Amino acid sequence: MNRTAEVVIIGGGVTGASLAYHLARRGVTHVVVLEKKFLASGGTGRSIGIIRQLYPTQEASQMVFRSLRVFQSFRERVGGDSGYVGCGALIGVSEHMLPALKHSMEVQKATGIRAELLSPNEALSIEPRINPQGLAGLVYEPESGYGDPSGVTMGYARAARDLGVAIEQGVEVTGIRLSGDRVVGVTTASGEALDAPVVVNAAGLWAAIVARLARAELPIVVGRHPVFVVKRPAAFGPSHLVYLDLAGGSYVRPETGDLTLTGSLTEDETRHPMDPELLGSEVGFEEAAVALERTSQALPSLADGEYQDGYAGAFDITPDWMPILDESPIRGLYIAAGMSGHGFKLAPAVGELMAELITEGRTTINRAPFRLDRFAETRARGGSFVSSYLG
């Protein structure tokens, strides 16, 4: 006889772990998480974990606001360490981006997010090392910062296990079993069949591949997003906050050991599709030089830093750079994927929303911007990374 579960979750990244926990908290404890490698071995383990709170829609703002509260009190709420560091974040924009920034800040205000609009000169009093040239305004978010995506995954997984969830690592799902228009279970690489009326595709960078097991297509591109590690020069002084320079196209986030993680916000990920198996592979010296030049423009005193390392990361990107959180046209087969580079900061709220959807068929936060069928409308097809901040 086949093993049975109420819910099978495919993927043990931060999304799958958060969902498993939230289902169990709602009393759905016969949940099995199947992870082909090990927990957080996908995009989650390569993430730099920035938490910023600037989104152009009420729904995404509510999601990040709820998630931040969880990161801030993770030990008490979930257990374990979220690694949250509330160093603050500055997000700089050019003249032509300023009206859109002001609009997103209205949304922030309505959501209760703490944020302040600063002139470039005012921003220098918070972080004197940024280069104000080319900036027309900046939003300062004092509670933003970064967290530890692997730590959050482990925290959720441990808490879910304590509530009865089975987490099986080294188990690859190789088949999704259907009966008519509904899902009835999965099969694994070892040939085992599991019966379940609900299966969730939380396979991150592999979500489109997993969808094809059910003969379904997802509008997700895996786009390369390399990360570079720089040792700050001694003269740099104390650590810095998170700085996202949307005008110049770069970001920095501090790391322990006088290190800074940096990369580009040039929105060219979709032009560089990547095989997810190349996650973590080496980056070329030339591309590092180009990215670090951009970083030095944003934060000139980092120009004397020492390049340490780099690796290929990737995002699972939808056409509007927003996640898909929905039941698929195949009944019982749910999708929590296409995180488009926001999957860490939104993970607590994503798990909560998906658990509500699966157990009650309704959600507290309006789910319309995350529905799969939104891509039928032209409006949802032309997004960019910057549009996920500014609309």
Ligand X SMILES: Cc1cc2nc3c(=O)[nH]c(=O)nc-3n(C[C@H](O)[C@H](O)[C@H](O)COP(=O)(O)OP(=O)(O)OC[C@H]3O[C@@H](n4cnc5c(N)ncnc54)[C@H](O)[C@@H]3O)c2cc1C
Which residue among 5, 8, 15, 299 contacts ligand X (CB under 6 A)?
A: 15
With beta carbons less than 8 A apart as the criterion, state whether 55 and 111 touch: no
With beta carbons less than 8 A apart as the criterion, state whether 100 and 390 touch: yes
Cα–Cα distance, 241 to 54 (Å, whole number): 16
Minimum distance from CB of 138 to ligand X (Å)?
18
Q: Does 36 bind ligand X (CB under 6 A)?
A: yes
Q: In terms of residues, how long is the chain?
A: 391
- The pattern of x and - marking residues 213 through 252 that bind ligand X according to CB under 6 A reads ------------x-x-------------------------
Which residue among 88, 341, 351, 383 contacts ligand X (CB under 6 A)?
A: 341
Minimum distance from CB of 257 to ligand X (Å)?
19
Q: Locate 337 and state its tokens.
A: 């994927």
Q: Which residues pair with 325 in a beta bridge?
A: 336
Which residue among 47, 108, 250, 388 contacts ligand X (CB under 6 A)?
A: 47
Q: Does 203 bind ligand X (CB under 6 A)?
A: yes
How many residues of this chain interact with ligand X, rule: CB under 6 A?
40
**Interacting stretch for ligand X, rule CB under 6 A, among 30-38, 100-108, 121-129, 299-307?**
30-38
Q: Which residues pair with 166 in a beta bridge?
A: 32
* Cβ-Cβ contacts under 8 Å for 386 (sequence gap 6 or more): 97, 246, 265, 267
The dihedral through the CA atoms of 371, 383, 342, 59 has a sign that is: negative
Q: Does 11 bind ligand X (CB under 6 A)?
A: yes
Q: Does 314 bind ligand X (CB under 6 A)?
A: yes
Cα–Cα distance, 123 to 27 (Å, whole number): 47
Q: At what angle do helices 58-72 and 98-111 cross, to 10 degrees?
A: 60
- Identity of residue 303: A
Footprint (CB under 6 A) of ligand X, residues 159-188: 172-173
Q: Locate 141 and state its tokens.
A: 């978010």
Cα–Cα distance, 222 to 234 (Å, whole number): 37
Footprint (CB under 6 A) of ligand X, residues 249-308: none
Which residue among 9, 20, 32, 48 contacts ligand X (CB under 6 A)?
A: 48
Which residue among 185, 313, 332, 351 contacts ligand X (CB under 6 A)?
A: 313
Q: Is 112 helix (H, G, I), strand (E, B) or coil?
A: coil
Minimum distance from CB of 99 to ligand X (Å)?
25
Footprint (CB under 6 A) of ligand X, residues 123-162: 149
What is the binding site for ligand X (CB under 6 A)? 10-16, 34-37, 41-44, 46-50, 149, 172-173, 202-206, 210, 225, 227, 313-315, 339, 341-345
